[in-house]
Structure 1
Amino acid sequence: MRNKSWTLGLLGLFLIICCVMVQFLASTLKIDQLVQQMVQSGVQQKPYKHVVLIAQELDNPFWRTVEKGASEAAARLGMKIDYWGPIRINPAEQTNLLEKSITTKPDALLVQGIKEAQYDLLISKAIDQGIPVITLDADEPASRRLTYVGTDNREAGRRMGELVLEAASEKGRIGVIIGSELAENQQQRLEGFRSALAKAPLFEIIDIRSSNISRIQAAKHTEAMLKQYPAIQTMVGFSSLDAAGIVEGVKAVHREGIAVFGFDDIEATRQGIAQGTIRASVVQQPQEIGAQSVHMLDAYFHQNTLPAQQYTGTYILDMSNLSDQASTPTP
C-alpha cells in the first residue's frame, strides 16, 4: 500500500514538472516570435537617410524652392532634408556651415559651389569620411563632388545674349548687373552672354556692376551707371532681383526707352513684363534642381554611376507667355 502511494506521488510530481516544462517552452517560443517580429519591424522601418542642404541664402526664394523640391523628393525616397544657410549671402559663412555639417556625419550633402580652395578641401574631407557631396546651382568642378545639378549657366547667358540681339537694333550699348563677382554661376552667365554678343561687333558692354543679389543695390548701381554712361540703351540683370532694381534705377534718372532684361521668375519681374518695363526674363527651374539632386543621391545609394553634370532646363518668360506660366519664386 505504501509503495502504491509513493508511486502515485512520484507520478503526480512528474506530471507537475512536465506541465511546468511545457509552459516554459511555450513562453520561450512566444518570446522568440516577438523578437523576430521586432527585428522584422526594424528592418521595415529603417531610419531616414539624413541629408544636409546648405543654401546660398536661407530665405532666398530660389533656395526655398530648391528646398521644396528636395524635401518632396526625399519624402518619397526615404530621406530627410535638413536645410541650412546664412541669413544674408556670405561665402565665409557657407564654408563654416559646410565644415559644421561634416561633424554631424550626415548621409549626404547638397551644397552650392564656391570657388575657393578651402571649400574644395572641405568637400574632400566629407568624401574621405564617406559622405557624398553634390553641388547645386553653382558647380565646383575641380573638387571631388559626385555631380553638379542645376542650370547650364553659360547656355543661359548665351540665351540672354540672343534675347538682347533680337530685341535691339543693329547696334547697342549695354549695362550689366550681376548678382555677385564671387559666384561662379554669375561669371558663367556673363561668359555665355559675351559669347552671343561676339557675333555682333556693334554691340558693346559698357559697364558691369554687382548687386550682391540686392534689389536696392541693383537700383543704385543702375542709377549711377546711367548717369555716368548716358549712351547705354540696354540693361541686363543676371540674378533674380536685378531686373526689378534696374527698373527702379531707370525711373530715378527719368530715362525712357531703356530695354531691360532679367533672370528668373519672381512677382516683381512679372509685374515689370506686364507693364512693359521689362522685356523678358531667362527662367530657371529651382524645384526641379532640388528634386533631381535627391534623385541623384538615390541613384548613388543604389550603386549607380552618376553623370558629371545633370543640367535642368530654362525657358523665356515674356509678354507672349506671361499668363501661361505659373509664378515660381527664384533668385
Structure 2
Amino acid sequence: MKFVSKCMVALSTTFALMSAAHAATPADSFQLSPRIKAQAAAKAKPTFVISYHDPALSVAVPMRKGVAAAAKELNVNAVFTGPVGGGAEKQVAELENWITKGVDGIAVSSSSTDALAPVINKAIAAGIPVVTFNTDNPASNRLTFVGQDLAYSGVVMGDTLVKHMGQKGKVLVFTVDAAAEWSKDREKGLRQALAKYPGISIVGLVNTTNEPQQIYAAIENAMLAHQDVNGIVSLDCCSFPAIGQYLKRNGLGGKIPVVGSDLLPQTKELIKNKVLTATISQNPQRQGHDAVVVLNQIYTGGKMPDPHTDTGVQVIDTSNVDQHAAE
C-alpha cells in the first residue's frame, strides 16, 4: 500500500508539472480581428507599429535600422515610433491613437509595466496582435517577447566585473532610468551575481536621467563622493560611454574596471583604447528586425510565436571588439 501511495503521489506530481508546462497563455486563445483576417486573406500590405520607450536614445538607431530592414525584406509597412524623451503616459496615448487608427500589429518596448499593460490588453482584446521587444511586459497579455533576458544580462555584467575587479571592493551602479522595468531587471541580476561575494558592496545606484549634461554631472558627483570605488557598472547604453569620458578626462582610464551595455560607436572606441572594460551586447538591430518578423508571421498565417525569442547575451571586450560592428 505504501508503494501504491508513493506511486500515486509521484503521478499526481507529474501531472501537475505537465499541466503547469501546458498552462494556457494569451497566445493560445488569441484570434485576429475580422478586419485583419480579411486583409491578410486578400494579401493586403500590413502596417505594423514598433513603439520604443524612447527613440531619442542612441540604442534606438540600430533598432530603427532593423525595423527598416525587415520591412523591406517582407514588403510591409513598419513605423518606428515612441515618445521622444520617454514617458509612460505619452507612450500610452500614442498607442491608443494607433489602436483607434486600426493598425495590423504592434510591438512595444514598455517604459512601465503597470502603465502599458492595460493598453496592450486593449489591443489584444480588439484582435490586434501585440508583441513586446527589448523590454518585456509579462504582466500583460502580449503574445511573445523578442529580446534579451534582461535579468540574466545583469548576472553576466556582475560576473564580468568580478573577473576584472576581483572578489573585494566597492561598486557604483549607473542607470538613465532606475524606475524602468529593463533597469530593475538588470539591477536584480547584477545584485544576484555580486551577492555571491561578501567582500563586494554596491555603494550607490545613481539615476542619471537621459539628458547628456545631466548624465555627466551625475557621474562626476558620484565619483567625487566615492573616490575609493573599485568597480563601475552601467545598466544602459548611454551612461556607459559618458563614464568612459569622465575616467579618460580625469586620468582614470583603465584603472577602474567598467562594465556596461550595448556597443555604441563611442563605447567601441573606449573599449579599444582600454578606458572601458567590457560591454554586454543585446543585438538591438536584431530586436527591431525580429519584432517585425514575428508580427508578420502572425498576420500572414496566424502562426503564434514561441513565448520568448531570445536575442542573446554576448560579452565584448578588447579581445574581440574589432570583430563587432558598432550598434
- TM-score range relative to shorter protein: 0.7 to 0.9
Specify which of 20, 45, 48 is matched with residue 45 of structure 2.
48
SS in 2 for 1:323: helix
One-letter amino acid matched to 2:281: V
1:299 to 297, 300, 303: 297
Deviations 1:3-23 (A, max 9, x none): xxxxxxxxxxxxxxxxxxxxx
Secondary structure, counterpart of 2:59 in structure 1 = helix
Residue number in structure 1 paired with 2:215: 218
Superposition map of 1:109-258 within 5 A = 109-250=106-247, 255=252, 257-258=255-256
Contact 1:139 1:148 (8 Å CA) reproduced: yes
Measure the CA separation in 1 of the matches of 2:115 and 2:238: 29
Q: Pick from 250, 273, 277 the counterpart of residue 275 of structure 2.
A: 277
The number of residue pairs the alignment matches comes to 287
In the TM superposition, what is the alpha-carbon distance from 1:174 to its structure 2 partner? 0.2
CA contact (8 A) 2:247 2:275 kept: no
- Residue 90 in 1 paired to residue 87 in 2? yes
The verdict on how the C-alpha distance between 1:311 and 1:79 changes in structure 2, with shifts beyond 3 A counting, is: same
Q: Secondary structure at the match of 2:242?
A: helix
Question: Aligned with 1:61: secondary structure?
Answer: coil
One-letter code aligned to 2:83: P
Q: Cα gap change, 1:182/1:194 in structure 2, threshold over 3 Å: closer, same or farther?
A: same
Deviation by residue 1:269-311 (Cα, 9 ceiling, x = unmatched):
1121122211111111111112221222233231223222211
Report the secondary structure of 1:75's partner residue. Answer: helix
* Residues 127 and 43 (structure 1), Cα distance of their counterparts in 2 relative to 1, 3 Å cut: closer
1:108 Cα offset (Å): 0.6
CA distance in 1: counterparts of 2:195 and 2:41, whole angstroms: 59
The structure-2 alpha-carbon separation of the partners of 1:116 and 1:293, relative to structure 1 and needing over 3 Å to count, comes to: closer
* Superposed structure 1 runs of 4+ greater than 4 Å apart: 42-45, 251-256
* Aligned CA distance change for structure 1 residues 234 and 286 (closer, same or farther; 3 Å): same
Q: Is structure 2 residue 60 aligned with structure 1 residue 63?
A: yes
Q: CA deviation at 1:154?
A: 0.8
Question: What letter is aligned with 2:293?
Answer: H
Pick the structure with greater CA Rg.
1
Equivalent residue letter for 2:311: T
Structure 1: gaps (5+ residues): 1-41
Structure possessing the higher relative contact order (Cα contacts under 8 Å, 6 or more residues apart): 2
TM-score by length of 1: 0.80
Q: Deviations over 1:158-211 (max 9, x none)?
A: 111111110013311000001212211111111111111111111111000112
Cα 1:114–1:88 change in 2 (3 A) is closer
Q: Specify whether residues 326 and 253 from structure 1 end up closer, same or farther in structure 2 by C-alpha distance, changes over 3 A only.
A: closer
